[in-house]
Amino acid sequence: MTNENDGSALIDLEFFESRRQVGEDFLEKLVEVFSLEAPKLVNKIKGLIEERNQSGLADSGHKFKGMCLNVGAERLSMLGKSIESSAKAGDFDELTDVIFELDKVLDNTLFEMRKLIE
């Protein structure tokens, strides 16, 4: 499960499976909550880019990065880190590029996670 663009894994399988050891129900609930909350935060980030809200973007990028790390969504957490650092630098061109990639990576990650819990 790697991203063709940079070779990073969509999901850290070892970390993801460590969540399964807590319990299958726990893992399913974790993925369910992530599936609901991650898209909401992505939409918020998109709005903040339109507003050119640097501090809101930096905070939301940081929150998104942490949310993704909690479920082993490796590539998404890297994008969250990029959002955070680009926002702090005021690099809105880079933010636009990241957002373009973010939707695709989120969809692919959610698809793979759902396959892993079936």
CATH number at residue 93: 1.20.120.160
Q: Compute how many other C-beta atoms are within 10 angstroms of the C-beta atom of residue 42.
A: 20
Domain assignment present for 8: no
**Total number of domains in the chain:** 1
**Residue 104 is part of which domain span?**
13-117
Domain assignment present for 6: no
Report helix angle 24-51 to 13-22, nearest 10.
130
> Model-level pTM?
0.89
Domain assignment present for 55: yes
Q: What is the pLDDT along the chain (118 residues), one digit of tens a residue?
A: 444 444 469 999 999 889 888 888 999 999 999 999 999 999 999 999 999 999 999 999 999 999 999 999 999 999 999 999 999 999 998 898 898 899 999 999 999 999 998 8
Domain assignment present for 4: no
Domain assignment present for 45: yes
